Structure 1
Amino acid sequence: MEPPECPVCLQSYDGACTVPRVLACGHTACEDCLTNLPKKFPHTISCPACTVLVKFPSQGPSALPKNIDLLRLFPSSRQNYLKPSRNCENFVDFVPRSWSDDFYTIWKDRVLPYDAISVEDGQNDDGDSASSSLLFGCLRDEQRLSLLRVASFQHEETGSVFKYSYVRKMMECLFGMREEARYELDVILSAKQRGVCRVFGLWGNLEDGLLYLVGEKLSGFCLDEFDNLLEDNIPCFAVIGMQICETIFSLQKEGVITGCLSFSCVKFDGFGNAYVDLIELLEAGRNVNRLVLEEASQCSKPIGLIEMGAIIRGLLKKGTFLSPEVLFELLKKQKIVIASASSKYLVSYSSDVWPLCFVLLNFLFGKHFTDELFESVDCVDTKGNGEELEDFLALHTGLTEKIRFLLESKLEGKFESLCKTLCRCCSLDLHARPVVSDLWRCIRELIINSRFISMIGFDSTTSDKVKDSCLVIGELSQMIKKRSSELERDDLTGAENGRGANESEADTDFVGRLSEGNIKSKDMHGHLDCVTGLAIGGGFLFSSSFDRNIHVWSLQDYSLVHTFKGHEDKVMALVYINGEEPLCVSGDSGGGIFVWSISLPLRQEPLRKWCEPKDWRYSGIHALTFAEDGYLYSGSGDKTIKAWSLQDGKLVCTMSSHKSVVSALVVKNSVLYSGSWDGTVQLWSLSDHSLLAVLGEETPGTIRSILSLAADKQIFVAAHESGTVKVWKDDSFVKSIQIQSGAILSIALDGKWLFTGGWDKTITVHELTGDEIALDCKHVGSISGSSVVTSLLYWEGKLFVGFADKNIKVYYYGS
């Protein structure tokens, strides 16, 4: 067998270079490793074997005794120094969720705070609020916004006791979306190109239960203002055209294909610069999908010229222009395609040139351009039979001929290069169309000599992404607005489909059913005054109260089965001890400590009792806990912590260091943590009851009384009267969080779930997530209580809450 080795560096002990030194906990490590281990607190060290915090001499590890016996051992008889097994039981998952921490990290910063946006009343700009998915609003700084609906979530929680937090609802909504829709959202939110209106993020409206994409709202110009643009200001047209081309080209380099443009998509800032509004672009795409869907619902055979003409007229009426191949793709999605339609019409970057050309012509010729196109569509419509692909070719030919006629008649032979390029943009053959950069060069020649154009190194390469996104035929553009009843039905369907296979288990579905109103709650009446403590053990729930009694409740039907009586003062603290003989111990405001036997049949009188000495400053027992060393520890109003023997009530030790009432006690990893009204947490060694460290002295002069403590695994949490909690991980301070507006009187920590309750009559639920480096505390939801929350206990999928109005409520599911 291998010789004994240091648990840190794994070097074999030799008594010279690797000297074994014994720590107070009994474990051994080499002298060099103990020197280099980080010291979180002065004169203390965390044992590398058992992680217990122990005293460390100021002289260094050389002052610790050598493990002589270990050096003498043969390999066959060495001791194994292993880390003690942590609590590996499966904690009950209070709030089930499907999304991972990585998903949360990606999307959390893209969700805008709920109070950051105010929605404006009234209709959208075109007055058609019935069919539009757009709303308008303002940011806090009065920045005007466009809001486009992208998803719905369950916002009404009638009959539900649990209220999800705003961020939690948004995460569930995003995770419930199709992956393709999330990809498009990611593309749009990442679009920071020049000439694109800013997209700020996502915002959920809790009033209508809809998730909106929030973007900057700039001003648009009326077509009437461009009627004389051709005659008065060709350079103005050139500047606007180049800016739009640059924006489209920038989007293509990021893998975004628009496939559709409308006059309303072009916006202008205060300096007259042209922008493309992606929010308006998606709304235009939805108008296209709406028209196609309407024709699909009325057509039982492959679509022909009549239906195609109706779609084009509807698009022209809204000032929207769509390339033919994108239209074919939309018809294919609706399973109605033109007879004999070829598969050669594939959506690509050339699909952007067609609508871009029509928008530029709209700027160039004004509102009469649309009227001319209407005439060309109507003229062909009267000739077609509505069935063959040749009819569509005739329709297309009519449009292109009309464009060529307008260019020749309006420009009167001028700008020949521009005319040819614009005509090529309208080609049905994608390969015959120019690229966006060619169109940009052609427009630039209107104001700059062609010799200078050749000097510009315009990179004509587009995106090399594996997955390109065409916004018009994507998921977001196909989210046509539904009635509220349909949205509610979708929510219910999504909730049913999203449930996991283990939804009946207690560790995955407690809050899932709680939020749906399927969780039962039961009031447990019996106390006559404020409930001060809760404990579980031996198949019972124990509760203490100012009424001087301890009630014993059945965990089967939550009925009152027994009452322990004997206290002459208010019972302030309660603890269950699972030993050879299960016990319940209570402490009162008069200093009395009562030990109750849990063995059946339950007795009325205590097994034993004693009272600690009093003085004029004394205000009784405020906290109790039990440690593995076999002692009961009490926190008192005389600023001390006392260790008691359970056998005879003998006082073993008194620990004095706090400057005010010791209000909370908890044991973790063989260390006693004590919280006090003086605002500090002190760490005590259970081996010799010496003070190891003090937490909370970093901000002198700002005392915030500690009212409750909780610990689980590596996490330690302290609750303050200011409504904040402070979190430590492995005895290193992580963060301070403002959770409630009033004092937090009770906290409970179970695995990753943190529960708090206090003066604001609300139980809040937070989820602790993170890795060895960072810890995040996410607000998950809340439960409204009937009174001030004075005690909390979570056990096997059941949440027990004690209130100041003498009631106890348990939230559970099942029979």
Structure 2
Amino acid sequence: MEGIKKIKPIILIFKRKIKKKSRVPSKECKKKKKMESAPSSSQDQDDDLPECPVCLQPFDPISAVPRVLPCGHSICHVCLPLLPPPLSSLPNSLRCPSCTQLVPFDRQVGPASLPKNLDLLHFVCPNGDKPSSRTRAEVSASRVAEVSAQKPLLWSHQNLLSFWKNFVLPENLVILGGNGDGGIKFGTFGATIGSPWFCKEKQRISLLQVKAESFVHDKSEWYQASYIYRMMDLIEKLGDKAREELGFLLEASSRVPYGISKAYGLWLDLTGKQGSNLYMVCEGFDRKMEFSSKPADEQSMFQVGVACMEFCEIITNLHSEGISCGCLGFECFYLNKHGHVILSLNEVIGLCRRLREVSFEGDYTSLSDVEILLAPELLTKLHKGPIKEFSTEVSVNYSSDVWCLACLVFTHLTGNMQFGTELMQNLDKDFVQFYEDWKKKVLNKMESVLTGTKFESLMGIIESCLCYEPQKRPHAVNLYRAFQNVLLGSCGEDEVTSCDLLSAKESSNYCLLLSYIHLVDLETRDERGRLEANILDVEAGKRGKDGTAHGGMHDATLIGHRDCVTGLVIGGGFLFSSSYDKTINVWSLQDFSRIQTLRGHEHRIMAIITTDHVSESFCITGDAGSGIFIWKISSPLESEVFKSWYEHNDWRYSGIHSLAFSDSGYLYTGSGDKSIKAWSFQDQSLVCTMTGHKSTVSCLSVRDGILYSGSWDGTVRLWWLSDHTPLCLLGANEVPSNLAPVLSLSSSASLAASTYENGYLKIWRNEMLVRSEKVKAGAIYALYLEQNLIFTGGWDKAVNIQEVSENELEVEISDVASIKCDAIITSLIYWKGKLFVGLSNKEIKVFHMQF
């Protein structure tokens, strides 16, 4: 029975969601119909009564008494004890079904431990009348709180990375070699890698340039985007259509059983002089296939026939995956170590790119010098205009490849490699009649070679492959079967020539010739020239009077402190910075000028926060002598201390190391005496002292009615803000030898993060550790969590920017960029596209980075 009771509220919530989705007419539509048809009745007004978000039962003073949770939402007294605790270690707590906030709930006392919502009861029964009874099917779900999804600051990182992560090759894996045509380079793998690539060291590869970076935003001395971020950024910039086609090609190439070069994935070359270049990496081969200039004789006829059958098999395999080439060339074919024919995908795409470049230039006569096999229907279209113009009008089907395949067979049998030149040179004439005359000469040449051989029976199907009309050409598989039957001797002449001359498929397919990948490359090639001057400006570091670099990422330096900067906060439209020099500097957020310096502390300032209380803004600071100072943020700014007082504790353990403020009007201080003190902001009286930590409380954070505290004892503790009692200890099961001092804490809407002296970053969700990763070699003094971005800085003098992607099961961290600084980073904050970094060398750096 207990198990059924625990499951019951979950089932009710699930039913509520289904009911909400299945309701077709909206409330507005219902109200409009009621107003038009009849006057409103008490029954109609009852539809808008508030209800319990769990069971959907309207609140009433008898069967569904509303009880108010500490977060402010109400739940009926029947559902309250049925809601399970979020963790076994937190039996006296529950999560509000409306806002998911963790709130205390004494299960021994039960619903009576929470107050009734008298305002709701008065609204439901204003005159003390007995509430009307309704079935749950009649209850509206209008009061169910909707949590809006957070919009990521970056591109759709999670969606891109989830698909492309298996196609992203490691950064330092490729060793570049020579260059080829059509944006192709050659190289080798510098190391052996396993799943999902399974490549050996020094394996030969070919690289096809897919895209060059349209602008270089990280050519600066201090900003360096991560490899994976730049990879995803370029993939995103390809556009939806090109990105879809590239992903399809990579997936399909891995499924082709035989005959084409294996596509390993994508690799980003970071060594380019004018930005990063994105490449598709495919298997490479040393031996190109050689086409003899002489007709095949009787001794070599069998080997030539096997090669022709392999041509047919390759094209058939591509067509089975929905891929057509559109054009082919003799340079696209290689031989593997076993002597079998292999088609290089990169060479085919490079050949298509060269054809596109010629079509864009408009000089179609130059095609005669390019060894491209192009079907007559495409030649005529090409003569009328660039490929880009007719790519949306013409569906290049598989029959175009069959024509190219027949030309390959003819070339390999007869040794004639320049028979297509005549077609390109005579496009201005009556091309149809000229083509028929050309076709007769080709067939006569082939007949003279094949007559008297076992391949003589292939004349019929080869002639059908060269038909001018695409729909009359057979499939590539028919030609493959014809060669197979002749070589194996399994059928007679009648059976060979009776192959079905099926019409070419009219269904759409992915054609390499009409790929959007080529269009992207051609468009960005023009952009590079226009942006070259801007790139050089950033590389040269040209700066204005304000110290910012023009043309890319910007930075500025704020100088005003005489010792290490200890804290940075923003409040009241100003930037506040604290320092060991016992002062607080106030800076303008518009031009970063220093507006004022606040003095009053007699010891080093260790902590600083800003807060809004009773429609006024305040800056609160704490120093190493246990002094607490409150500064009023007004216009104009006041230089005098608004209020100040000191903690009374043992001088050996004195010092305010951290501060936090709650909406209820309490100021919390983390001290060197291992305690957390709660102060009334109204009269500065000590409300209570929270103990539990075994060392200095180094950082504090407030979120959703819970106080997070980190200590040098290596633990993070949670406290209820309602009564200042302990909630739980995070990471209580960790081995003591693995503990390191907690140096900083930060929290967002759904996550909390902590950093440690040993360089670890830990992320917590729903009071559970979901990610623990060493992100730096030394201590991490500064941490800032901004929705799905994490900024960390510390001993290594660099700011790491990482992106958090989460789902119901796990949380992943991926590097976005790193920023180099000149000194140890002690504090940082991100605000509206600007990153403020406090350093140990007295400076404050401002980096402009709009994600």
The Cα of 1:731 is off from its aligned counterpart by 4.0
CA distance in 1, matches of 2:610, 2:481: 82
CA distance in 2, matches of 1:399, 1:586: 90
Secondary structure of the 1:742 match is coil
Say if 2:211 and 2:234, in contact at 8 Å, map to a contact too: yes
Residues 305-384 of structure 1 correspond to what in structure 2 (within 5 A)? 307=365, 311-312=367-368, 314-316=369-371, 320-334=372-386, 347-365=396-414, 368-370=415-417, 373=418
Per the alignment, do residues 557 and 642 of structure 1 end up closer, same or farther by CA in structure 2, a change over 3 Å counting? same
The Cα of 1:494 is off from its aligned counterpart by 13
What corresponds to 1:509 in structure 2?
A: none
The Cα of 1:322 is off from its aligned counterpart by 2.3
1:665 is the counterpart of 2:706? no
Residue number among 188, 191, 196 corresponding to 1:137 in the alignment: 188
The Cα of 1:633 is off from its aligned counterpart by 0.8
Per-residue CA deviations over 1:198-238 (Å, capped at 9, x if unaligned) read 21222221222221111111343442789797533555444
The Cα of 1:657 is off from its aligned counterpart by 1.8
Per the normalisation by structure 2, the TM-score is: 0.77
Q: Given residue 402 of structure 2, which amino acid in structure 1 is its aligned partner?
A: V
Residue number among 349, 352, 376 corresponding to 1:282 in the alignment: 349
Q: Which has the higher contact order (CA 8 A, sep 6+)?
A: 1
The Cα of 1:588 is off from its aligned counterpart by 1.8
1:9 is the counterpart of 2:76? no
Secondary structure of the 1:594 match is strand
Segment of structure 1 superposing worse, 263-272 or 209-218: 263-272
The Cα of 1:624 is off from its aligned counterpart by 0.6
CA distance in 2, matches of 1:258, 1:621: 71
Say if 1:146 and 1:215, in contact at 8 Å, map to a contact too: yes
CA distance in 2, matches of 1:558, 1:86: 39
What corresponds to 1:35 in structure 2?
A: 82
Per the alignment, do residues 425 and 327 of structure 1 end up closer, same or farther by CA in structure 2, a change over 3 Å counting? same
Residue number among 502, 513, 522 corresponding to 1:472 in the alignment: 513
Q: Given residue 39 of structure 1, which amino acid in structure 2 is its aligned partner?
A: P
Say if 1:799 and 1:812, in contact at 8 Å, map to a contact too: yes
1:715 is the counterpart of 2:751? yes
Per the alignment, do residues 391 and 521 of structure 1 end up closer, same or farther by CA in structure 2, a change over 3 Å counting? closer
The Cα of 1:664 is off from its aligned counterpart by 1.0
Q: Given residue 211 of structure 2, which amino acid in structure 1 is its aligned partner?
A: A
Say if 2:673 and 2:695, in contact at 8 Å, map to a contact too: yes
Over the residues paired in the alignment, what is the CA RMSD in angstroms? 4.4
CA distance in 1, matches of 2:661, 2:309: 77
1:443 is the counterpart of 2:483? yes
Secondary structure of the 1:119 match is strand
CA distance in 1, matches of 2:803, 2:570: 23
CA distance in 1, matches of 2:504, 2:770: 43
The Cα of 1:13 is off from its aligned counterpart by 5.6
Say if 2:549 and 2:555, in contact at 8 Å, map to a contact too: no
Segment of structure 1 superposing worse, 444-453 or 686-695: 444-453
1:255 is the counterpart of 2:255? no
What corresponds to 2:712 in structure 1?
A: 677
CA distance in 2, matches of 1:230, 1:666: 85
Say if 2:584 and 2:597, in contact at 8 Å, map to a contact too: yes
1:151 is the counterpart of 2:203? no
CA distance in 2, matches of 1:771, 1:348: 42
What corresponds to 1:656 in structure 2?
A: 691
Per the normalisation by structure 1, the TM-score is: 0.80
Per-residue CA deviations over 1:17-63 (Å, capped at 9, x if unaligned) read 76766656675443445424351342222233554423344658478
What corresponds to 2:780 in structure 1?
A: 744
The Cα of 1:786 is off from its aligned counterpart by 2.3
Say if 1:404 and 1:423, in contact at 8 Å, map to a contact too: no
The Cα of 1:758 is off from its aligned counterpart by 1.8
Per-residue CA deviations over 1:454-504 (Å, capped at 9, x if unaligned) read 89xx9999998964232124344567889x985622667999xxxxxxxxx
Residues 232-251 of structure 1 correspond to what in structure 2 (within 5 A)? 232=299, 234-251=301-318
CA distance in 2, matches of 1:225, 1:698: 74
Per-residue CA deviations over 1:55-89 (Å, capped at 9, x if unaligned) read 3446584784685979986723499999999999x
Per the alignment, do residues 336 and 759 of structure 1 end up closer, same or farther by CA in structure 2, a change over 3 Å counting? closer
Per the alignment, do residues 783 and 331 of structure 1 end up closer, same or farther by CA in structure 2, a change over 3 Å counting? farther
What corresponds to 2:245 in structure 1?
A: 184
Q: Given residue 370 of structure 2, which amino acid in structure 1 is its aligned partner?
A: L
What corresponds to 2:228 in structure 1?
A: 167
Say if 1:194 and 1:247, in contact at 8 Å, map to a contact too: no
What corresponds to 2:269 in structure 1?
A: 205
1:779 is the counterpart of 2:779? no
Say if 1:641 and 1:655, in contact at 8 Å, map to a contact too: yes
The Cα of 1:655 is off from its aligned counterpart by 1.4
Extract unaligned runs of 5+ from structure 2: 1-44, 132-139, 193-200, 536-547
What corresponds to 2:586 in structure 1?
A: 552
Segment of structure 1 superposing worse, 46-55 or 706-715: 46-55
Residue number among 613, 619, 639 corresponding to 1:579 in the alignment: 613
The Cα of 1:406 is off from its aligned counterpart by 3.8
- In the alignment of these two chains, the number of paired residues is 755
What corresponds to 1:563 in structure 2?
A: 597
Secondary structure of the 1:760 match is coil
1:220 is the counterpart of 2:296? no
Say if 1:640 and 1:656, in contact at 8 Å, map to a contact too: yes
CA distance in 2, matches of 1:87, 1:433: 59
Per-residue CA deviations over 1:567-606 (Å, capped at 9, x if unaligned) read 3332110122322454322212232222334455623456
Segment of structure 1 superposing worse, 194-203 or 748-757: 748-757
Percent same amino acid among aligned pairs? 33
What corresponds to 2:257 in structure 1?
A: 194
